[in-house]
Structure 1
Amino acid sequence: MTVLKLGRKSSSAKNAIFMDCGIHAREWISPAFCQWFVKEALSTYGSDSQMTSLLDQMDVYVLPVFNIDGYDFTHKSNRMWRKTRSMRSGSSCVGADPNRNFNAGWCTLGASSNPCSDTFCGYSPESEIEVKNVANFIRKHKPTIKAYITIHSYSQLLLFPYSYTYELAADHSELLKVAEGASESLRSLYGTRYTSGPGATTIYPAAGGSDDWAYDLGVKYSYTFELRDTGRYGFLLPESQIQPTCEETMLAVKYIAAYVQKNIY
């Protein structure tokens, strides 16, 4: 798994944002966005004052494809595959849902203990090597990681903790305020409407998600994007929508990043 670190070189440790794409294999617009972000960050550094300031003051860790084996499988065998591709002796069912495999209310609400299910939580928290690697990386860099952003599709939502409980997060009002500002920023380009809110009530309850796990670890600004669309094309978003989706999402991510930069805790 390849993590890219974007930022101006510094002799001392800088605060950082961690962003991943492609947790769910079939959500192809997600890895497309991470690639777009990297291209934009590197090509506009020096000309875009906001991006320049961000990369001067912070580092951005980008994991362009989280679920590599699953993503590969969607290109070669089954376009609608969602899970990882891990095998377990004695079971004919392949993989677990990496976004049900984090140790956050693990395998309770909205997750399945059936290995054949699309929302199978895995055999234990972090049983999936991809999840274990990301969790270890974030734990290792926990003192500096101030925001966690994970990109999914589809539904046009900007979600934050919690998904494993209906209880509101301690920082609920601030997280909502930032999400609404980011959604407004996104809408300014093509009029695309996003709904903001905690995962459990805004989309559905789901235990074991990466954003809840990161938040409970102490990463305050923890967000999940569900990109275009709202169901017409779903996971099969047409090629003509790749660039507009990336452009508008970039505005929202930059909004969150700028806020985090000014509100380091």
Structure 2
Amino acid sequence: KPKTTVDFRVEAHKSSDVESLLEQSGLEYEILIENLQTALDAQFDNNVRSTGYNYEKYNNWETIAAWTADIAAKNPNLVSRSQIGTTFEGRPLYLLKVGKSGSNKKAIFMDCGFHAREWISPAFCQWFVKEAVTTYGTETLMTRLLNQLDFYILPVLNIDGYVYTWTNYRMWRKTRSKNTGSSCIGTDPNRNFNAGWCNVGASRRPCDDTYCGSAPESEKETKALADFIRQNLSTIKAYLTIHSYSQLLLFPYSYTYSLPENYEELNAISKAAVQELATVYGTQYTYGAGASTIYPAAGGSDDWAYDQGIKYSFTFELRDTGRYGFALPESQIKPTCEETLKAVKYIANYVLDHLY
């Protein structure tokens, strides 16, 4: 639509042709990243040498998987690990349950790593768990949240894709499933849910980045997530899904311009949450309903969760707004996670005060 910004990537040998075309068309443009490969290489810029697990580095899947076992073993009073399924390539989908054990507790479900190249997303899920176990008992708000709520944390949903970004192609987005009748691999997991499935902002072509899959929940990963939420609908009161980038806090709907029943409430929560976030480093977030705030897109997990009756459903698009994009340097992991944590704790506290 007019007056929106589009970020795109150009191969080096075509860049001068593209610049000429942009100038001829009278389009305003700005070069955000001169050399993407250099920016990707620089993602491993961190010299932090800490003993034990490093939360200020991007960790590969093997490291994250080992961490899920370790953090549960070291914090049995607060963290337990289960497996909710396997990926297309057979990797275990580990889920961490974080909270002080108690009866009849309501829960918040949070997932990271839907899109393979959005590395800051799994980094945040790891950071959240670290903060939970290290500040429980000393920090009032976190202690209150963990005493009265459970958090289900899925550190990486699209594990196969994430592994592929480490081994083959850094900018991969989709799952790694095979598509019948096509040599193109993968489905966009965030177009694969039964929420206006494939009617807008999604593609039916398997080669496209936004391919919606052969049917809703065609992917083992999305089906495992949906099954778990369906089985626990009586307790899950909020759904948070962490993506990047754009600095947005979105809520339903994305598959339609119609507004959710509790639009005013979701809008007010989002406004307050992004204000909380900005208190740490002044980072500015935009908020609103998905379709009008970013673009219409069907089949998203947030819309699906909302339609299941989870009335507090949010999508975070973390830093930045394009200067680094998916190539966000490791030096920004800590500040990004610190500010995001403030917003997540605000939402969780609101949910706790407004249980339904």
Q: TM-score range by the shorter chain?
A: over 0.9
1:179 counterpart (246, 270, 286): 270
User: What does residue 233 of structure 1 align with?
Assistant: 324
Task: Confirm whether residue 72 of structure 1 aligns to residue 149 of structure 2.
Answer: no
User: What does residue 147 of structure 2 align with?
Assistant: 56
Structure with more contact order per residue of length (Cα contacts < 8 Å, sep ≥ 6): 1
| Greater radius of gyration (CA) | 2
Alignment of 1:50-199 (within 5 A): 50-199=141-290
Task: Confirm whether residue 249 of structure 1 aligns to residue 345 of structure 2.
Answer: no
3-state secondary structure, aligned to 2:108: strand
- 1:264 Cα deviation from its structure 2 partner: 0.2
User: What does residue 100 of structure 2 align with?
Assistant: 8
Where do 4+ consecutive residues of structure 1 move more than 3 Å? none
Give unmatched runs, 5+ long, in structure 1.
none
TM-score normalised over the length of structure 2: 0.74
160-169 vs 85-94, greater mean Cα deviation: 85-94
Aligned length: 264
TM-score normalised over the length of structure 1: 0.99
Q: Deviations over 1:144-197 (max 9, x none)?
A: 000000000000000000000001111100000000100000000100000010
User: What does residue 25 of structure 2 align with?
Assistant: none
Counterpart of 1:258 in structure 2: which amino acid?
N
- 1:204 Cα deviation from its structure 2 partner: 0.5
RMSD of aligned alpha carbons: 0.6
- 1:89 Cα deviation from its structure 2 partner: 3.9
Counterpart of 1:262 in structure 2: which amino acid?
D
User: What does residue 203 of structure 1 align with?
Assistant: 294
Give unmatched runs, 5+ long, in structure 2.
1-92
Q: Deviations over 1:177-234 (max 9, x none)?
A: 0001000000001000000100000000000000000000000000000000001100
Whole-Å separation in 1 of the counterparts to 2:157 and 2:347: 21
- 1:91 Cα deviation from its structure 2 partner: 1.6
Whole-Å separation in 2 of the counterparts to 1:47 and 1:149: 25
Counterpart of 1:88 in structure 2: which amino acid?
N
Q: Deviations over 1:67-105 (max 9, x none)?
A: 000000000000000000001343201000000000000
Whole-Å separation in 2 of the counterparts to 1:139 and 1:103: 13
> CA contact under 8 A between 2:108 and 2:152: conserved in structure 1?
yes
